[in-house]
Amino acid sequence: MQNEATVDEISHRTGQRYLTVVVCHDSGRLVWAAAGRDRKTVEAFLDALGEERCKQLELVSADMAAWVAGPIAERCPNAELRLDPFHVVMLATDALDEIRREVWNEARKAGETALAKDLKGARFALWKNPEKLTPRQQLKLAHIQQINQRLYRAYLLKEQLRQIYRVDPDEAIGVLDAWLKWAWRCRLQPFVKLARTIRDQRAGIEAAFRNGLSNARVEQINTQIRLITRRGFGYHSQQAVIALAMLSLGGLCPPLPGR
């Protein structure tokens, strides 16, 4: 069994109130949580873990946040960082939506109100996975293919990137190479920028191919922390949220007071 951890942040209250949470990937338990989402917060976790246990850490799953990757690289010499597939695909979805907004604004400014209306209503058809499209959304997507090749090309780029996580790990690297070549020459600036990001983060993306580690466990914990907060009608103290989360999700069994 490998020493695997997943690091993520959760907003538990309005006003940019964040917690950083660490989950054991093997057991699925919450092992640590603290207020904040910055480098100092991750370093506090590594301080609590200690030098010896930092050396034992082998796999870490996270998003592309530098405040996570930096301390892990510096203080966990044997840990391999894996980038969560969901966050990678989300970047492609964001790039696609940027293109959609550009095309919509161009149509609106040119007085093409019918086209602008079609494009504004196409967001969910473009975002959803093809196998989950309704018949109406399939028609909407086919219409986009006919009326705006630039937007449809952006959609295909998003879907092709998603496929790198659906093929065999040995094939995924070749699919990623092909995607990067396409993105570099697509002349869609949001995707050119994304290709640059993926090139810089490629080691973490390829690591996810080999081991299949993702942020799924920590996202499940985050959902349960939100439920804890909602049941308590919100908490003014972050420490109260952390204490209840550790009690409920960390496998703790504190001794009960004697009668």
Nearest-angstrom CA–CA distance, 231 and 254: 22
| Complete edge-to-edge strand list for the sheet that includes strand 30-35 | 30-35, 17-24, 4-13, 59-62, 80-83
Nearest-angstrom CA–CA distance, 148 and 187: 15
pLDDT at 258: 66
Residues of the chain with pLDDT under 50: 1
Structure tokens at 112: 């093409």
Closest CA to 27 of 252, 256, 230: 252
Nearest-angstrom CA–CA distance, 173 and 171: 6
The backbone torsions φ and ψ at residue 27, rounded to the nearest 5 degrees and listed phi first, read -95, -20
The backbone torsions φ and ψ at residue 20, rounded to the nearest 5 degrees and listed phi first, read -100, 130
Return the amino acid letter for 239: Q
pLDDT at 197: 95
pLDDT at 213: 66
pLDDT at 230: 85
pLDDT at 34: 93
pLDDT at 15: 63
CB–CB of 82/213 below 8 Å?
A: yes
| Threshold 0.85, pTM exceeds | no
pLDDT at 1: 41
In degrees, rounded to 5, the angle at the alpha carbon of residue 230 between the alpha carbons of residues 227 and 236 is: 120
